[in-house]
């Protein structure tokens, strides 16, 4: 075990540096005054370089090869498998290409900040062309080494084991019934009246309510905290998880469910097995599984009838001066299940969200595989928006294909990002093609997990009781404590009796929105 033990020590060293990077990254988003930005960026770049050097250290290759022949237990074998995976992901792309891509990405993102507002697609393309070009090179190289198509090789960074053949089938199925379902639900909801209010909801009351809801979700405040940042995320380390939200005094709705969402990410991190702390096998399984936990909390629990019934009196209590009829359970439910196709992915509801993901998937897949040019994106975007959501984005780049260039909620899985050693932000501008499918995969995994739990216990009664521990115990045993010790397919099969089955998602949506 000499070689394996050396690897363990090495990866724990990397984890220590990732810890510092995660905390300073959180600080930059939640605490740092603007004047600290330049010095911080330089310090973080130095640290990233150091982590990159450790992650790609040439002697790791020999250690990994020699450790294969050592007398390892089954979990140690899984651990070694994940080390090998990380080493390969980190080393396969030549340094020069990594640097060029990072530079092109920064340049593109910086210009995008003003170009989006100006709806300036052609200006944007001046930089974006290079990003696409370098990303295609990366995808090509990764694909050749892994024996995959270029796009599947990119996908494999975020969602190991998933390929576009699968996605084509799953997403193809979705697009065959989702537009119609959306229409049906919209028709149904047209007859309902939702009571909203123009009142102001103080930040401090929203914060107090958020903290109480986190407690209801058993967030471990000994190992984490809630703060404010302009883009909500879940950062920090499993021993000290930092989630953030932003408060809009005109609207308590978004922040509240945002906190529930981030609490799902946080509890996954907090629940990861400590005996594998710092090792690749002890980290979250994939972006999709991470998203499955946040969406389990937000969609499966947070928007359920009994949860909203519990939320209602809490909201009434914290927003004492506000119109109480808004927080009446039935009205709150209508607010939280309102379906309305729109242009912007991050503002989308549960039902229309997959359309945003699928159109991005179809575009980035063909782009990475060289079947389309970046110039084709606006027209494809418009066509697909019309097909899936009945909206046109013709000539409207800023609410169309230029919306998702920016840093979104991706930093949430920071530790997971570093795990792969090859990225920090997730967006096309940085050339992070292949990430988007994780969102909808997550929604499907979550529905499937809930379907299994519902066979084992009376979920509604448990949520109603206010003590959700039995549900969390199931997640803890079947998802959190498994970390990356199994492939995603094995993880899901052990937990639910089958690999990903999108039927559960469809049933969940029909149950919630047509009932």
Residues classed as catalytic: 262
Residue 180 labelled as part of a binding site: no
What is the number of residues in the chain? 515
Under rule CB under 8 A, which residues in 401-420 are in contact with a copy of itself?
A: none
Q: Is 6 in the site for a copy of itself (CB under 8 A)?
A: no
For 455, other C-beta atoms within 10 Å of its C-beta total 10
Is 70 a binding residue for a copy of itself by CB under 8 A? The answer is no
C-alpha gyration radius of the chain: 22
Shortest spacing between CB 313 and a copy of itself, in angstroms: 27
Tell me whether residue 284 or residue 385 sits nearer to a copy of itself (CB atom): 284
C-beta of residue 296 within 8 angstroms of C-beta of residue 262: no
* d(C-alpha 347, C-alpha 269), whole Å: 25
Asked if 288 contacts 158 with a C-beta cutoff of 8 angstroms, the reply is yes
Strand partners, 236: 241
Residue 234: strand pairing partners: 243
Q: Are 342 and 391 in contact (CB under 8 A)?
A: yes
Tokens 């909808």 found at: 440
Instruction: Identify the residue among 2, 5, 31, 114 touching a copy of itself (CB under 8 A).
Output: 31
Nearer to a copy of itself, 143 or 236 (CB): 236
Please tell me whether residue 97 binds a copy of itself under the rule CB under 8 A. Answer: no
- The residue range among 39-47, 58-66, 117-125, 452-460 that interacts with a copy of itself, by the rule CB under 8 A, is 39-47
Binding positions for a copy of itself, 205-224, rule CB under 8 A: 220-224
**Using CB under 8 A, which residues numbered 286 to 345 contact a copy of itself?**
none
- Give me the least distance between CB of 49 and a copy of itself, in Å please: 10
The stretch among 85-93, 234-242, 391-399, 480-488 that binds a copy of itself (CB under 8 A) is 234-242
Distance CA 383, CA 386 (A): 5
For residues 251 and 201, the answer to whether their CB atoms sit within 8 Å is: yes
Number of residues in contact with a copy of itself, rule: CB under 8 A?
A: 36
Query: Which of 5, 46, 215, 325 contacts a copy of itself by CB under 8 A?
Result: 46
Nearer to a copy of itself, 60 or 491 (CB): 60
Q: How far is the CB of 34 from a copy of itself (least distance, A)?
A: 6
Q: Which stretch binds a copy of itself (CB under 8 A): 235-243, 279-287, 333-341, 447-455?
A: 235-243
* The only residue of 6, 27, 137, 406 in contact with a copy of itself, by rule CB under 8 A: 27
Residue with tokens 């690897």, as numbered in its chain: 7
Does position 506 interact with a copy of itself (CB under 8 A)? The reply is no
Q: Reading across the β-sheet that carries 224-228, which strands appear in turn?
A: 224-228, 240-245, 234-237
For residue 108, what are its two tokens?
């593109």
**Which of 225, 427 has the CB closer to a copy of itself?**
225
Helices (H), 31-120: 37-55, 59-67, 74-91, 95-115
CA distance linking residue 234 with residue 366, whole number of Å: 31
Shortest Cβ 481–a copy of itself spacing (Å): 18
Q: Which of 5, 13, 325, 387 binds a copy of itself (CB under 8 A)?
A: 13
Write the CB contacts of 237 (distance below 8 Å, at least 6 apart in sequence): 18, 19, 22, 23, 269, 415
- Residue 43 found at the interface with a copy of itself (CB under 8 A): yes
Q: Is 138 annotated as a binding residue?
A: no
Contact 388, 353 (CB under 8 A): no
- Choice between 237 and 459, CB closer to a copy of itself: 237
CA distance 263 to 392: 35
Q: Any residues with CB less than 8 A from the CB of 154 and at least 6 apart, and which?
A: 135, 138, 139, 142, 368, 433, 434
Stretch that binds a copy of itself, among 22-30, 118-126, 139-147, 479-487 (CB under 8 A): 22-30
Annotated binding site: 261, 265, 291
Interface residues with a copy of itself (CB under 8 A) are 13, 16-17, 19-21, 23-24, 27, 31-36, 38-40, 42-44, 46-47, 50, 220-225, 236-240, 277
Annotated binding site for Zn(2+): 261, 265, 291
């Amino acid at each position: 075990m000499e070689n394996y033990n050396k690897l363990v020590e090495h990866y724990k060293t990397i984890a220590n540096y990732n810890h510092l990077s995660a905390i300073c990254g959180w600080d930059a988003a939640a605490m740092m005054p603007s004047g600290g930005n330049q010095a911080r960026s330089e310090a973080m770049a130095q640290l990233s370089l150091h982590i990159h050097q450790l992650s790609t250290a040439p002697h790791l290759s020999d250690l990994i090869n020699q450790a294969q022949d050592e007398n390892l237990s089954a979990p140690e074998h899984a651990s070694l498998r994940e080390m090998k995976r990380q080493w390969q992901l980190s080393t396969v792309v030549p340094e020069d290409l990594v640097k060029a891509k990072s530079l092109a990405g920064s340049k593109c993102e910086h210009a995008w900040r003003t170009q989006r507002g100006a709806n300036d697609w052609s200006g944007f393309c001046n930089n974006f062309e290079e990003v696409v070009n370098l990303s295609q090179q990366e995808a090509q190289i990764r694909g050749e080494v892994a024996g995959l198509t270029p796009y599947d090789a990119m996908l494999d960074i975020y969602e190991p084991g998933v390929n576009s053949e699968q996605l084509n089938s799953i997403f193809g199925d979705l697009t065959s019934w989702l537009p119609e379902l959306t229409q049906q639900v919209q028709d149904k909801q047209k007859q309902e009246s939702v009571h909203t209010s123009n009142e102001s909801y103080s930040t401090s009351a929203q914060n107090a309510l958020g903290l109480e809801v986190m407690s209801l979700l058993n967030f471990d405040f000994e190992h984490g905290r809630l703060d404010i940042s302009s883009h909500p995320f879940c950062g920090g380390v499993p021993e000290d998880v930092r989630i953030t939200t932003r408060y809009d005094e005109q609207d308590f709705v978004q922040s509240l469910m945002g906190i529930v969402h981030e609490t799902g990410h946080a509890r996954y991190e907090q629940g990861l097995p400590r005996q594998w702390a710092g090792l690749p096998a002890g980290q979250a399984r994939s972006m999709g599984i991470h998203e499955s936990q946040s969406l389990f909390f937000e969609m499966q629990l947070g928007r359920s009838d009994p949860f909203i019934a519990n939320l209602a009196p809490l909201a009434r209590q914290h927003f004492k001066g506000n119109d109480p009829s808004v927080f009446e359970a039935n009205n709150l439910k209508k607010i939280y299940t309102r379906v309305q196709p729109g242009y912007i992915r991050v503002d989308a509801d549960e039902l229309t969200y997959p359309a945003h993901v699928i159109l991005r998937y179809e575009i980035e897949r063909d782009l990475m595989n060289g079947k389309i040019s970046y110039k084709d994106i606006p027209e494809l975007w418009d066509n697909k928006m019309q097909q899936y959501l009945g909206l046109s984005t013709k000539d409207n780049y800023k609410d169309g294909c230029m919306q998702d260039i920016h840093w979104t909620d991706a930093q949430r899985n920071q530790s997971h990002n570093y795990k792969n050693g090859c990225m920090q932000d997730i967006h096309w501008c940085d050339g992070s093609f292949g990430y988007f499918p994780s969102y909808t995969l997550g929604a499907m995994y979550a529905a499937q997990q809930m379907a299994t739990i519902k066979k084992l216990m009376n979920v509604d009664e448990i949520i109603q009781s206010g003590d959700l521990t039995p549900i969390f115990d199931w997640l803890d045993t079947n998802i959190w404590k498994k970390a990356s010790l199994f492939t995603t397919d094995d993880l899901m099969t052990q937990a639910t009796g089958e690999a990903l089955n999108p039927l559960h998602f469809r049933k969940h949506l029909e149950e919630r929105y047509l009932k």
